[in-house]
Amino acid sequence: MSTLNLDLGSRSYPIYIESGAFNRAELLTKHIRGKRVCIVTNTVVAPLYLEAIKTKLADYELDEVILPDGEAQKNLVNFEVIMSHLLANAHGRDTTLIALGGGVIGDITGFAAACYQRGVDFIQVPTTVLSQVDSSVGGKTAVNHPLGKNMIGAFYQPKAVIIDIDSLHTLPVREFNAGMAEVIKYGILGDLDFFVWLESHIDAIKSGDKQILAKMIEKCCQCKADIVANDETEAGVRALLNLGHTFGHAIEAEQGYGSWLHGEAVATGMVLAAKLAVAMNLLEVSDLCRIESLIKAFDLPLQAPENMGCDDFIRHMRRDKKNIGGKLRFIVPTAIGHSEIRDDISQEILQQIL
């Protein structure tokens, strides 16, 4: 087992990474302060892992909320479903919520925890690549709105993140590959050595080698933890973690949440960000080719949807949370292993690459 720590003073918390973590009850129980627990999960994950988690918590007063699966379910309607359940079952301020699932479940559960009675404890138990390497760490919680992704939410940290590598073996290939977009992101934005490591371990990753997956997940979590520890509320360097997301969120919003998986949209977004950098003479074409090659190795899309034009992208991107003073801000790679925040992108260059 590897244990990382996200250092945020009094709100610091551990990130456990282990094969078979779901079998260790103490990883959960030492972060539960009361006797009431509500597990939030979905219709896909519940049949796989809900009973195993409940068995480990037999000494607690348990109930659960099982939501439908999919990105389209990360909305205010299901946020209210969680709230109504907690109120109807008289959960108090000493309740602990457990987010059992992927990024959608983690985000909506965390937001519910942030809001219920002005804040109750929650624990992240991520079961997808995307949630294990990215969304479960760092305290970003939110729901989507038809006009924008993650526009309604809060920064609210969990008490712990418990990652069982074995849960990745139940992921559909498309979901696994989509999560790899967030993995590749860490290499592009700030770690050339990690990018090279990914290039040389493609087959081992795709075959599900546990040691390789553990090393990959640990590296991503450590990168995320280091950045969040320095900039919890995205006032500066944390914005780099949005590499590919400005374009990607526009794709998701325009196509309808769930039509493109989040990781698929981010993959295309990273290619567009790299093309933007090339057009601005900030990135070598050879680096763009390496980025495209690694993304393609995991069967992720390189091209934006054919039915989206420049105006469609800009309409959605104008609502992006990173924008300041009405200026569009983009994360662009200037080399593999280094990225910058830029707000000097002309509409002419955007039209050129889109």
Dist CA 107 CA 150 (whole Å) = 9
Q: Which of 62, 65, 21, 63 is nearest to 42 (CA)?
A: 65
Please give the pLDDT value at position 337: 97
Angle between helices 173-190 and 262-279 (to 10 degrees): 30
C-alpha–C-alpha distance, residues 241 and 234, integer Å: 9
pLDDT given at position 327: 85
For residue 123, the model assigns a pLDDT of 98
Residue ranges of domains in the chain, CATH in brackets: 2-170 (3.40.50.1970), 188-353 (1.20.1090.10)
In sequence order, the 6+-apart residues with CB closer than 8 A to the CB of 163 are 15, 16, 17, 18, 21, 126, 132, 136, 217, 221
Q: How far is CA 28 from CA 33, 83, 94, 120, in A?
A: 10, 22, 15, 16
Catalytic residues: 118, 140, 182, 224, 234, 238, 242, 245, 249, 262
Q: What is residue 347's predicted lDDT score, i.e. its pLDDT?
A: 86
The one-letter amino acid at 233: T
Q: What is the pTM of this model?
A: 0.94
Q: What is the pLDDT of residue 235?
A: 85
Tens of pLDDT along the chain (354 residues)?
A: 899 999 999 999 999 999 999 999 999 999 999 999 999 999 999 999 999 999 999 999 999 999 999 999 999 999 999 999 999 999 999 999 999 999 999 999 999 999 999 999 999 999 999 999 999 999 999 999 988 899 999 999 999 999 999 999 999 999 999 999 999 999 999 999 999 999 999 999 999 999 999 999 999 999 999 999 999 999 889 999 999 999 999 999 999 988 999 999 999 999 999 999 999 999 999 999 999 999 999 999 999 999 999 999 999 998 887 777 778 899 999 999 999 999 999 889 999 999
For residue 324, the model assigns a pLDDT of 79
